[in-house]
A and B are shown apart, each in its own frame.
Chain A
Amino acid sequence: MLRALAHRLGQAVATAIALATLCFAAIHALPGNLALQVAAARVGDERVTQEAADRVRREEGLDAPLALQYGRWMAGIARGELGRSLVSGRPVAEELAHHARFTIQLGAAGWLLSYVLALPLGLVAGFRPGGWLDRAAGGLAVALASLPSFLVGIGLVTVFALGLRILPPAGFRTGAHMVLPALTLALSLAAFSIPVVRDAVVEARAAFFLTYARMKGLGAAAAFLHHGARNAAIPVVTFAALQFTLVIDGFVVIETLFNYPGLGDLLVKSLVARDVPVIMGAGLLVGLAFALVNLAADLLCLWLDPRRRREAEP
């Protein structure tokens, strides 16, 4: 358990350092005058002047030597100071907190919904490998996996918002606005979780202890429930964490598509505006969340699988 913790912690720190250096390099390797760009982003392209750019340069400390700026940059991040948005002037932490709420809602809804779809489909497919349900679920998964999430989203918008007119196409005011983005995310995720659930079920059902449970007289369903389900859960849990990488691809694209004000939308908008402190903060938050989710999955697997616990302890 300590090893898992140390590994994921190291991962998070390395990510932070790499990200910070990347952002710093990007600021200084970019062609063009950063101060001028920032000033333009603040007051608008037409009204920007040299004085405004100079003021920005002084305010943001962009006139110091490079090594000093790098030291300052890393020291600031080590202290947990994320600075202020170059565009809005608000503290980055505040911006992140505001947008993260929306992303967590969307991510949780999409992720749960994907298992509402994948668990029953994977179970029925895994109970009759090679049957028509298995082949149908497999085909569905391959087709969904070949669709980038924004295509799924555009398809859903076309059918439900433009065709049937029962759901709003974009925005975030009411619960109904969540349905299409969450469903889009869920379908993109289900593409990968259906085969994982199915394979886990097939493998657990093929185990000797399950044959034994059937031999001593348990029915197929009872035997699986008591002896198979927990074993089948292990690969599924590991995968659910891995899937977090897909959630990230998903929410960046889906939030942009649906104009949903989450972290992904913030990240893309700051990338377009070159708002480096916000990019940096959002990247850090995502990297940290990724390490945490992986840690949670490591621990959950240790709890589910006593065999692994014995291996990890001595």
Chain B
Amino acid sequence: MRIAPPRGAAGLAAAIAALACLGPLVAPMDPLGQDLMRVMEPPGARHWLGTDHVGRDVLSRVLAGAPYSLGLALLSVGMSASTGTLLGLVAANSGAAGRAVVMRLADLVLAFPGLLLALLLSGLFGGGVLPMLAGLHLAMWPLYARMADATATSTLREGHVEAARLAGFPEWIILLRHVLPRVLRTLAPLAILGTGQAIMSIAALGFLGLGLRPPTPEWGAMISDLLPFLAEGVVQVAAPCAAIFATVLALSLAGRSLAGSSMPPRVR
């Protein structure tokens, strides 16, 4: 019996991935091209979502921003989930001492509430892509490591693992064939929800001026750029806001439905 991923969630994920890849390609205008004769124009036939304070097309910027906001979120979650899976498997496999080391490290990171660690790293090391990714990665891996450790530990105690061991399969084959798939299935909904969180974190860092910097069309940085002109152009500010909201909402609905449907498969 195979567990098919829920269709709605898969569709949403595909749509979001497509947006991240195609966004910049379908952008009607140059997202960085300024036109100082047309600043803060209201939405019209030429600029569907209006222009910003230096005359750039807002629609193009929102579309071109997708790979930054989404791509970096996916990248940071992928990195964190990989590190977490690896360390979780190590912890589950290396006895009390190994587990203690990994879990104390995780505790240490979790003692920094919320965005603080990413904020500090990103800010102290001067903003930009790398410090931000490093900060998000550092802040997010413990969640995945704990989950991977718990799942791997319980799987390693199960009958089919025992049977494989008795049949003489080496430990790494057991980890690869029996433990890893189970761990990944547990982590998948977490990672989808985590991507939504990462998008919000990246946007928050951009908004604070500590993440990606203007003129990069990252959604959070765009919002903080446009905020002083809120009274003149609500639509222009609302556009990147709506992009963030729609993406995060889609991801959290997909994550929830996947979490609900992927009950651990019982004995086949």
Residue ranges of A at the interface with B (Cβ–Cβ < 8 Å): 11-12, 14-15, 18-19, 22-23, 26, 29-31, 142-143, 145-151, 154-155, 157-158, 162, 244-246, 248-249, 252-253, 256-257, 267-268, 271-272, 274, 276, 279, 283, 286-287, 290-291
Contacts and interface: CB of A to CB of B under 8 A. Distances in A.
A283 B121 CA distance: 12
Contact of A146 (B107, B119, B196): B196
Interface residues of B, number: 38
16 contacts: A23-B120, A146-B248, A150-B220, A150-B223, A151-B241, A158-B230, A252-B204, A256-B208, A268-B123, A271-B123, A271-B124, A272-B210, A276-B124, A287-B113, A290-B112, A291-B111
Interface hub of B115, B120, B227, B249 (most chain A Cβ within 10 A): B120
A129 B227 CA distance: 41
A248 B223 contact: no
Contacts of B120: 19, 22-23, 271, 279, 283
Nearest to B251: A146
A253 B125 CA distance: 19
Closest 6 CB pairs of A and B: A271-B123, A26-B124, A245-B113, A245-B114, A146-B249, A146-B248
Interface of B: 107-108, 111-116, 119-121, 123-126, 196, 200, 203-204, 207-210, 220, 223, 227, 230-231, 234, 237, 241, 244-245, 248-249, 252-253, 256
Given A15-B111, A26-B124, A151-B245, 13 more contacts: A14-B108, A15-B108, A31-B126, A147-B248, A150-B220, A150-B223, A249-B114, A252-B204, A253-B207, A257-B207, A268-B208, A279-B124, A290-B112
B208 A162 contact: no
B136 to A, nearest CB: 13
Contacts, number: 123
B223 A290 contact: no
Contacts of A154: 223, 227, 230, 237, 241
B112 A150 contact: no
A153 to B, nearest CB: 10
Contacts of A23: 120, 124
Contacts of B203: 148, 150
Contacts of A268: 119, 123, 208-210
B252 A142 contact: yes
A29 B125 contact: yes
A41 to B, nearest CB: 14
A150 to B, nearest CB: 5
Contact of B208 (A22, A31, A253): A253
Given A162-B230, A246-B114, A283-B120, A26 B107 contact: no
A283 B116 contact: yes
B241 A248 contact: no
A146 B124 contact: no
Contacts of A143: 249
Contacts of A253: 204, 207-208
Given A22-B124, A158-B234, A283-B120, A146 B252 contact: yes
A287 B234 CA distance: 37
Contacts of A272: 123, 209-210
